[in-house]
Amino acid sequence: MEKIVINNGAINSQILVGEDWKSIFKLTPQENVIIITDENVFNIYGKYFPAYPVVILRPGEKSKDLRIVGRVAMQMLKAGIDRTGFVLGVGGGMVCDVAGFAASIYMRGIRCGYVSTSLLSQVDASIGGKTGVNLGNTKNILGTFSQPEIVICDPSMLRSLPDEEYFSGLAELIKTAMIGNEKLVELIENNHEAILRREIGFLTKVISMSVRFKASVVSQDEKESGLRRILNFGHTYGHAIEMATGFSHGFAVASGMELAADFSFEKGYLSESDRGRIINLLKSFNLLREYKISPARMHSLIFRDKKRSGDEISFVFLRTAGVALVEKVSGRELSDFYKKRVSV
């Protein structure tokens, strides 16, 4: 088991990777706890829950909605959760986002923690204290910066994940590797079989590396005023692709990384061989899907992105596999690059 700590002023956030998830019940208070989960997770793990009140959400992105947050809060109120209460999210990114957001606004903020059940949330969503819901089809536009006190990432829970979700998470793992850790890139390249077989030991290792990297970034820049932006690699085009196609998040980000790698090459930041290396890795796990989005639609979708300020967007380029840089580019430049590329 690896323990990683994110230190942000008043709150220490502890992330335990490789720990048995049921340990969470020794770490949370004995009462005044409410569990937020979804149907899929509840069906598998609900039988191990203690006798806390449970709110069971419908699986899927549609539950990331302000109305659902309102309903969760109403259940909290009915369960008598007070200021000293604790919200425990048990689930993937959606559950952690909704649970964390609800906890952060309930009575203007109460304690929370997560058991992170998907690869996507173990490597990314549950780490770093961003919570949020969608508005219409604009993703994560409403939310808070709010650190969970504790997160358990138990890779044995990944065994029961559907392939679609598992590989969606793998794309985010590759993202982290690409922006900050060449050793992690190599590990993923050289352990194809271990990844496909979901080997617990190997997953514990790579998830820890990913969490450690993200924790170091977030500790330095909790509120995304600078450094943290590199975590958005693949996400500018990726969010737009996700909105337009409905791809799972990781698959959309994979296509976003492909575009960002091409753009980095075109700008002269990335060598041709490194570009090939990145794209080959994405292809080796079948992460790149076909999609058709017109340049005009891409432009309008990118312009809903919250990373935008005025006409400029902080875009994450790669220098090599493992090193990123952030640079402001105009919306025009992003559109033009995409237009040129789809016309090829």
Using the rule CB under 8 A, which residue among 1, 5, 44, 74 binds its own copies? 74
- The reply on whether position 339 binds its own copies by CB under 8 A is no
- Total Cβ atoms within 10 A of residue 47: 7
Candidates 73, 127, 230, 279; binder of its own copies (CB under 8 A) is 73
**Structure tokens that stand for 213 in this block:** 């990297």
DSSP for residue 226: S
Beta bridge partners of 87: 34, 112
Residue 21: partners with Cβ closer than 8 Å, 6 or more residues away: 45, 90, 115, 117, 152, 154, 156, 157
According to the binding rule CB under 8 A, does residue 75 interact with its own copies? no
Question: Can you tell me which of 47, 190, 201, 309 binds its own copies, judged by CB under 8 A?
Answer: 309
Angle of the 182-190 helix axis to the 163-180 helix axis, nearest 10: 140
Smallest distance, its own copies to C-beta of residue 223, A: 8
Nearest to its own copies of 31, 186 (CB atom) = 31
Residue 138 touching its own copies (CB under 8 A): yes
Cα 256 from Cα 247, distance rounded (Å) = 12
Give me the residues paired with residue 56 across strands. Answer: 37
CA distance 63 to 30: 28
Binding positions for its own copies, 201-260, rule CB under 8 A:
223-224
Structure tokens belonging to residue 222: 């909790």
What is the rounded distance in angstroms from the CA atom of residue 295 to the CA atom of residue 299? 6
User: Residues 190, 205: contact at Cβ < 8 Å?
Assistant: no
Binding of its own copies by 69 (CB under 8 A): yes
Residue 23 makes contact with its own copies by CB under 8 A = no
Q: Which is nearer to its own copies, 130 or 275 (CB)?
A: 130
Of 78, 153, 158, 82, residue with least CA distance to 123: 153
Each residue 24-43 as x (binds its own copies by CB under 8 A) or -, in order, gives --------x-----------
Q: How far is the CB of 308 from its own copies (least distance, A)?
A: 5
Under the binding rule (CB under 8 A), the answer on residue 100 touching its own copies is no
Q: Which stretch, 20-28, 128-136, 174-182, 213-221, contacts its own copies (CB under 8 A)?
A: 128-136
| Smallest gap from residue 226 Cβ to its own copies (A) | 13
Q: How far is the C-alpha of 247 from the C-alpha of 290, rounded, in Å?
A: 10
Q: Which is nearer to its own copies, 110 or 321 (CB)?
A: 110
Contact set with its own copies (CB under 8 A): 32, 66-67, 69-70, 73-74, 77, 82-84, 104-109, 130, 132, 135-136, 138, 141-145, 223-224, 304, 306-310
